[in-house]
Amino acid sequence: MLRASWKSLMARKLRLFMSAFAIILGVAFVAGSFVFTDTLGRSFDSIMNSSVGDVVVRPVAGDVDIESQPSSATLPGSLVKELADVPGAARADGNITNFGTFVVGKDGKLIGGFGPPGIGINFTDGPAAKGLEPLTLNAGRWPTAGGEVVVDEKTAEKAGYLIGEKVNLVSSGAEPRIQAKLVGIAHMDGGTAGASLSIFDTGEARRLFMDGNDTYTDIWVSAADGTSQAELRDAVAAKLPKDVEAVTGDAAAKAAASDIQEALGFITTFLLIFAGVALVVGSFLIVNTFSILVAQRSRELALFRALGSTRRQVARSVLFEASVIGLIGSIIGLGLGVVIAMGIRVLFGQFGLDLSGQSLIISPRTIVVSLVVGLVVTLVAAYLPARKAGKVPPVAAMRDDAILAESGMRGRTIVGTILTALGAGLLAAGLFADVPSPTYWVGGGILGVVLGMALISPIVGRPVIAAIGWLYRKTFGAVGLMAQQNAQRNPRRTGATASALMIGVTLVSMMAVFGASAKASIDKAVEKEFVADYVVSSAVGTPFSTEVTEELAAVPGVDEVAAFRWDQVKVKGEDRQVTGIDPSHIGVLGPTPMVEGRLADLTTTTVSVAEELATTDKLSVGSTIDLTRGGTTKPFTVGAIHGDSALLSSDYLLSLPALESLGGAKTDSYAFITRESGAAAAQVGRDLDKALADLPVVTVKDQGEFADEQRAQINQMLYLIYALLGLAVIIAILGIINTLALSVIERTKEIGLLRAVGLSRRQLKRMLRLESIVIALLGAALGIGLGVAFGVALQRSLADDGIDVLAVPWPQLGLFVALAGLVGIIAAWWPGWRASKLDILRAVTTE
């Protein structure tokens, strides 16, 4: 029996490859995401291991997220000496670190991009944990005096500086522009993952980053021989002042690496979602292929039954075929996954996250998961067709006609409707109700609706097919009529094939509606609430020196400059967003609806609370709340309660001095600028650009450019998603090809007759093309219907988060329909070609 299935498998290589293709793509995404994540993890593990001492002493940071501003709390220089004398300590070194120091290349462009930090540090010869040398010199020497700098090799190479040359740097410290002589090139084992390192003499670093004080950001204590990290930590901890902690190097490295991995975890999630989409679409293809194969082979299967095979044996032979496909698909997919991981690595290298120092990691888990996923999906998808195969009655072998009667639509309709309703419920709950981990609800809901719709698509699709059919008959006569009727001949097959396309189109349309709504919302916000004429923002995602803001205020024609800082505080143990604002220039930030009080009246001891939060926490003007940032906690009096506006939607608003008193860094996230009335817009814009010419770390944009930039970001995200969903469409095309090709084989005789009575090859191809287009348009129609519904739901659920305008991009959706038609045309090409090459005589005389 197995031998027979193997032979039938080999006889259908091409068709099986097309089914396997879906598995290959799905598994490739699974494998690719695992390989990439592992590689990323290993890369950061090794970086972090050389970025910690045996014991790290640092201000209690609370849980400062790596995306928020670093703490400005520092350690006194005297502590270094004290810790060096702790029993078990070999030495102690004070470190100064600044996460906003970038090298400017010879071409005036900033080295590094959006994401990886530009790190400025002081040089010490202290070892990292376990005696590792954190940095080694490739060339030159370490800095010993002010005006000298050493940079890492990648940065030096990219910037094009040689030893002895003057290097330009920009910094978020007190001096926004730094010029120093390059005295050495440093190397870090395992690379820097795209971060740039600028190493200064300790005295210089103190001047640049610590306002000249004898203070450090953290201290490394190295263990003497025979002392463990934990022992040393305990000894050190006993000597520490309040709000300072000691952690072992291992713990610190692990925490730092996992923080970064968590922050980059969205990549894995993203890839796994696409893996899921590909596998769901792929399973449709497999169900369809196997159903058709079983239908065509029913006579052969019946013969097996007549010869004494049990139902189970027949079903098992089909499942055996499926498992071979699943396994082969998974293995190829695994290989492709490694290629995908390489691709992602290159892509991320473009954005600055350079992982070329770490080879790809293919762990046993990756292999096992990939193979299991591929195999299980294939077997599950093939189960129903296999069971049907087992049900072929032995007598079918003796009969001409036959054989597998289509079971009724009723059960299918009921299950499909329930699934759709259930999915819609889950989706609604995830979007609008307060449920834990809503993403899963939304994902599950979408899956439910899509699967449900796929089941009932043969019924729901009827009017669509009828409408297209009417058009076909009017336009193409008999050929059109036959095309439409062929599409309707086996509604399940057509439905399943169309559904594969539907899934991709659904997600694409949903994102299109969401993206258009987001863009329209931005336009509206900019138009209505944007008062500033210019926005200054960071080009690298890290905040910039306040010096910049001050310099801009001096540019002629500038009226007001309002600094703006994102930050995070903890209130009652929960992370809350806070925005630091300048109360004296509050007007520049646009009209903010106030419930009580005025933002202009904020002082160093008062805070404005968001309306919603004030209601839930029962706060009113005059109440007191404790805000904690890093290790610092201070009481604030509620001075105002603000409603939502485009810029000021944080939970808390503090004046800049108030934020600094909590330890917030003196760096700005944005600066908003208004023009003096009467100043020439073009001139002021040019002057601002000129003022910032040697500071590539920030950019200045006028209102229009700012809105464009925001829109461009959304577009970029959309294009990426479209590109990935394009793969789902390719799988769907293969599905249509497969279905059509199998149908052509089924209808060999009919096609022969048509050719005999005078249907030309062109007309035959056209007939198949039209049938293919019906399937594709059905998928597109269902997909756009669902996608628009999902998109509207998504927009509604985010209306409070700033996406308050619903925009449905009809022209774009129309384009999707046109593209679907094109997909149909492409998919029909090969089956049409094959059909037209059929030998008429043989076709007519085939029994």
- Please state the separation of Cα 170 from the chain's center in Å: 30
Q: How far is the CB of 753 from another protein (least distance, A)?
A: 4
**Binding flag, residue 477, another protein (CB under 8 A):** yes
Q: How far is the CB of 294 from another protein (least distance, A)?
A: 20
Q: Would you say 340 or 751 has its CB closer to another protein? A: 751
Q: How far is the CB of 486 from another protein (least distance, A)?
A: 6
Phi, psi of 170 (to 5 degrees): -120, 150
Q: What's the CA gap between 530 and 594, in Å, rounded?
A: 17
Q: How far is the CB of 478 from another protein (least distance, A)?
A: 3
Which range, of 39-47, 109-117, 260-268, 476-484, touches another protein by CB under 8 A? 476-484
> Which of 37, 486, 608, 795: binder of another protein (CB under 8 A)?
486
**Binding flag, residue 758, another protein (CB under 8 A):** yes
Q: How far is the CB of 472 from another protein (least distance, A)?
A: 13
Q: Which residues pair with 786 in a beta bridge?
A: none
Span 818-847, contacts to another protein by CB under 8 A: 840-841, 844, 847
Say which residues have a Cβ less than 8 Å from residue 793's Cβ, sequence separation at least 6: 427, 428, 431
Q: Which residues pair with 167 in a beta bridge?
A: 180
**Binding flag, residue 405, another protein (CB under 8 A):** no
Dihedral (C-alpha) 212, 214, 218, 221: value to the nearest 10 degrees?
Answer: 150
**Binding flag, residue 296, another protein (CB under 8 A):** no
> Which of 761, 798, 819, 834: binder of another protein (CB under 8 A)?
761
Q: How far is the CB of 484 from another protein (least distance, A)?
A: 9
Q: How far is the CB of 831 from another protein (least distance, A)?
A: 17
> Which of 485, 633, 645, 699: binder of another protein (CB under 8 A)?
485
Residues in contact with another protein, shown as a per-residue x/- string from 782 to 821 under the rule CB under 8 A = ----------------------------------------
Residue 336 CB-density burial (10 A; 0-12 exposed, 13-18 middle, 19+ buried): middle
Please say whether the beta carbons of 288 and 741 come within 8 A: no
Assign 291 to helix, strand or coil: helix
Beta strands 652-655; 574-581: pairing state: parallel
> What are the structure tokens assigned to 822, written together?
């094109």
Neighbours of 351 (CB within 10 A): 12
Neighbours of 114 (CB within 10 A): 12
- Nearest CA to 639 among 657, 620, 658? 620
Which range, of 65-73, 81-89, 264-272, 485-493, touches another protein by CB under 8 A? 485-493
Say which residues have a Cβ less than 8 Å from residue 470's Cβ, sequence separation at least 6: none
Q: How far is the CB of 488 from another protein (least distance, A)?
A: 8
Q: How far is the CB of 832 from another protein (least distance, A)?
A: 16
Which range, of 13-21, 649-657, 704-712, 747-755, touches another protein by CB under 8 A? 747-755
Determine the angle formed by the axes of helices 703-746 and 761-797, rounding to 10 degrees: 140
Which range, of 33-41, 228-236, 340-348, 474-482, touches another protein by CB under 8 A? 474-482
> Which of 234, 300, 705, 750: binder of another protein (CB under 8 A)?
750
Phi, psi of 781 (to 5 degrees): -65, -50
Q: Would you say 556 or 758 has its CB closer to another protein? A: 758
Which range, of 454-462, 543-551, 569-577, 746-754, touches another protein by CB under 8 A? 746-754
Which range, of 19-27, 240-248, 358-366, 760-768, touches another protein by CB under 8 A? 760-768
**Long-range contacts of range 620-624, CB-CB < 8 Å, 24 or more positions apart?**
620/596, 621/596, 621/597
Which range, of 277-285, 457-465, 713-721, 751-759, touches another protein by CB under 8 A? 751-759
**Binding flag, residue 755, another protein (CB under 8 A):** yes
Q: State whether the Cα torsion 133-134-137-143 is positive or negative.
A: negative
Q: What's the CA gap between 457 and 782, in Å, rounded?
A: 8
Please say whether the beta carbons of 652 and 627 come within 8 A: yes
Residues within the interface to another protein (CB under 8 A): 477-479, 481-482, 485-486, 488-489, 749-750, 753-761, 763, 840-841, 844, 847
